[in-house]
Amino acid sequence: MSTEFNPLAPLVGPCVIALVLTAAATDIQWRRIPNWLTFGAWLLAWPVQICLHGFQAGTWTWALGWLTGFFLFLPFYLLRGMAAGDVKLIAAVGAWLGAGMALRITLATFVLGGLWGIAAAIRSGQGRQLFESVTGVVRTGRGMPSVGTLPYGVAIAAGTVGMLFMSV
């Protein structure tokens, strides 16, 4: 693909921001992120990546971004630390933005979500139970009883928006 300006490129960031803000809003209101949103975003990202990078490079960018987001969040889903909608959302974000940005967003999301979770547990008087659950997961490698839930789509939205603005 040539290096000339692609009029589609400036629309990627706003589309991803709309995606994560919609997911955060539905996660806050209904405590779930709908499949139509995550799968729809994932599928729409493919032709966008093709238009930006050409068929082969666009397909690789799309697939590797999706896989990066998916596999970075999957262990936490398997340990019952987050819901499937969170995994599908970060995978869709990766499909839109590529593997490198998916990795940076995932790290930012883990920091923000972790701090939020610790603050929420301490505020609700469950700090000790959180500590015991985390040490139990580290010792056994298995999920432990939860101390509560957070609409993690909010943390994903914050990490995504923050990383997009930092990359401008």
Which residues, 6+ apart, have CB-to-CB distance to 145 below 8 Å? 129, 133
In this structure, are residues 37 and 19 in contact, taking their beta carbons and an 8 Å threshold?
A: yes
3 part of a folded domain: no
**What contacts 163, CB < 8 A, 6 or more positions away?**
101, 104, 105, 108
Q: What is the DSSP letter of 34?
A: -
Residue 142 lies in a domain: yes
The verdict on residue 62 lying in a domain is yes
> What is the extent of the structural domain holding 52?
9-163
Give every CB contact of residue 26 below 8 A, 6+ residues apart in sequence.
32, 33, 34, 37, 153
pLDDT for res 149:
85
Query: Is 71 contained in some domain?
Result: yes
Task: Please count the structural domains in the chain.
Answer: 1
The pLDDT value recorded for residue 66 is 98
Mean pLDDT by 10 residues, the chain (168 residues): 71 97 98 97 97 97 98 93 95 98 98 93 85 79 72 97 94
Q: How confident is the model at residue 1, as a pLDDT?
A: 47
Tell me, yes or no, whether 1 lies in a domain. Answer: no
**Residue 24 placed within a domain:** yes
In a domain, 4, yes or no: no
CA–CA separation, 116 vs 119, rounded Å?
5
- Domain for residue 146, yes or no? yes
